[in-house]
Amino acid sequence: MVVLAKGELEQIALPAVQKAAPPLADVPEVDLATAASGGAEGRAAAARAVAAACEEHGFFKVTGHGVPLDLLARVENAAAAFFALQQREKESAMSAVAPGSPFGYASKRIGSNGDLGWVEYLLLGVTAAGASTGDHSADDPLLSVPDEDAVPAAWRRSFRDLLNEYTVAVRRMTCEVLELMAEGLGMEDTDAFARLVLDDDSDSMLRVNHYPPRPELKHLQQLHGGGGGGRVTGFGEHTDPQIISVLRSNATSGLEIALRDGTWVSVPPDQGSFFVNVGDALQVLTNGRFRSVRHRVMVNSVHSRVSVIFFGGPPLRETLAPLPQLVGEGGRSRYREFTWREYKSSAYRTKLADNRLCHFEIT
């Protein structure tokens, strides 16, 4: 259970006047199975739909993804079992990863600049096969998880292997989505984005979030006539720094995205599908054509929300700048060139809600 010190809840709660966000009526949807089997026409239509969703919202749903539903269920159950452990045991998983690194288990504290949320989570680095010891197959990405002996039973091989299996499958699907994005942009080099995420040195991550319910919210919501009040932030508003984020959650609501005009809408959960966010790095590569979506997670009064997010990032050494073909002849580059390492170290000095791209904009 997440335990709060005095005064911390006030920092997590949104102002009481905050209205509940209405649901996003038409979540853009892309069916990867149809894209694969629909011939050249079907593929081109899917690529156009992906690009349109990335331009309008920076967000869409993926169905027909090919990731086995039983794998999704097994990961969800294993995550729930992990979060049901004693606080002490979960924290020992944190210290065993790498002291001082953002990886491991944490509760309420997001990043290192004072952001708080009603959430506990595991954050794991995805490293290339071979870069670490272990008996995984050569194709597997390996997660930055602690040594066997130092950690509690639930964090041992079975959970690690399960998350590994999940990461392999989701990364593969992510790359299909990235190819569709490149096709939708009319790029000749349709592997350009996927290559960055598949690189041995790609700076990708896996995050497993648990948002425990807050039953007292129900009462507060009734007091405010259902419209406003009694809302608690699980994960505050932000954009993701990476190229792409691919999220899967259980059937509990909570995810909200900001539309172009700044209004917030809630995203109806769909446990059989994935949701894709465009990240800051992709906004840069596309010279702002694709929009990195501002999003947040609100806490449910009744149900636990469990989500797993794969963040596909480029290698730290990678130089990022708008792709010349997307700037166009005589066009204006909106961002200066920078390395992903530079971007990340700047991002890690910011608060969650900050605009991280403005430091790289050419004005």
Contacts with ligand GA4 by CB under 6 A lie at 102, 110-111, 113, 115, 123, 205, 207, 238, 240-241, 311, 347-348, 350-352
Q: Minimum distance from CB of 110 to ligand GA4 (Å)? A: 5
Report the 10 Å Cβ neighbour count for 23.
12
47 vs 116, which CB is nearer to ligand GA4?
Answer: 116
Shortest Å, Cβ 354 to ligand GA4: 7
Give the residue with the Cβ less far from ligand GA4, 183 or 203.
203
Would you say 2 or 347 has its CB closer to ligand GA4?
A: 347
Least CB distance to ligand GA4 at residue 161 (A) = 22
Closest distance to ligand GA4 from the beta carbon of 87 (Å): 19
In 10 A of CB 234, how many CB atoms? 24
Whether 35 contacts 43, CB under 8 Å = yes
Distances (CA, A) of 57 to 35, 46, 256, 287: 21, 16, 12, 16
Task: Calculate the CA dihedral of residues 334, 338, 242, 55 and round it to 10 degrees.
Answer: 10
Strand order in the sheet with 255-258: 233-238, 295-298, 255-258, 264-266
Q: Which residue lies nearest ligand GA4, judged by its C-beta?
A: 111
In whole angstroms, how close is the CB of 242 to ligand GA4 at the nearest point? 6
Strands 274-278, 319-320: pairing is unpaired
Q: How far is the CB of 97 from ligand GA4 (least distance, A)?
A: 13
In the complex, the smallest distance separating the C-beta of residue 222 from ligand GA4, rounded to whole angstroms, is 33
Query: Whose Cβ is closer to ligand GA4: residue 242's or residue 286's?
Result: 242
Q: State which residue, 50 or 247, has the beta carbon closest to ligand GA4.
A: 247
Which residue's CB is nearer to ligand GA4, number 76 or number 240? 240
| Of the candidates 61, 117, 92, the residue with the CA atom closest to the CA atom of residue 298 | 117
Rg (CA), the chain: 20
CA angle 149, 154, 160 (to 5 degrees): 80
Q: Answer whether 249's CB lies under 8 Å from 269's CB.
A: yes
Q: Which is nearer to ligand GA4, 207 or 289 (CB)?
A: 207
